Amino acid sequence: MKKCSCCGETKSLDDFHRSKNAYLGRNNECRVCRSKKNKDHYDASSFDRDLARVRYQRDSEHYRANRRRSFANNPEAKAAKDKAIYQTLRTEVRRLLGNKCTHCNYTGRLDIDHVNDDGREDRERFGAHNSSFLRHVIAEIKAGSSRFQLLCRPCHRIKSQEDYANYIVAKYAESCTGLTEADWLKARTFITSTA
């Protein structure tokens, strides 16, 4: 049992917060009094918090405006900053996807490939090479998606040609009925070699 120095009531030790330096290893104020004291202090300082928030918003807007102005006057600085951000995001994508070609394990220059050939929607939504697309890829990979893979340039070109050949053969098959499997293979080989 311990007496609260604030309210004067005698309470059990469980009603006091622990403190190494205090008598009996417990604070001198009970939990209820300490909570009330903290709430009163919080309410009294709300004006200071509001003032700090307003100052931050005002100053940060001023800061952002100065940065916009500086980039407008120096497009090379903006381009360098954008390039650095793009490279950082691209490095993160490579790290998440294993940092090597899925087909041949090459670790040099790698392209991000859409496994299911659904890249057209992403290119229309984000553009070809920009940070928004890379942020999208990172978010999808972290969410567990397997839509993307890394391919070296030769493997990417071969895959693209095969996909194009399959697309053309399928279109050709829609218009021509009665093709044998040998005709399909001949057409696919011809289209792959000329694509």
Exposed/middle/buried for 72, CB within 10 Å: 0-12, 13-18, 19+? Answer: exposed
Contact status, residue 4 vs residue 33, Cβ threshold 8 Å = yes
Q: The domain at 2-44 falls in which architecture?
A: 2-Layer Sandwich (3.30)
So where are the chain's domains?
A: 2-44, 82-194
Residues in CB range of 1: below 8 A, 6 or more apart: 10, 11, 12, 13
- The yes-or-no verdict on residue 77 having pLDDT over 90 is no
Q: What is the pLDDT of residues 38-63, one digit of tens each?
A: 888 877 777 777 777 777 777 777 76
Q: What is the pTM (predicted TM-score) of this model?
A: 0.50
Contact call for residues 90 and 136 (beta carbons, < 8 A): no
Closest by alpha carbon to 134, among 109, 111, 167? Answer: 111
Average pLDDT, rounded, for the chain:
80
143 — phi, psi (to 5°)?
-80, -5
More confident residue, 148 or 121: 148
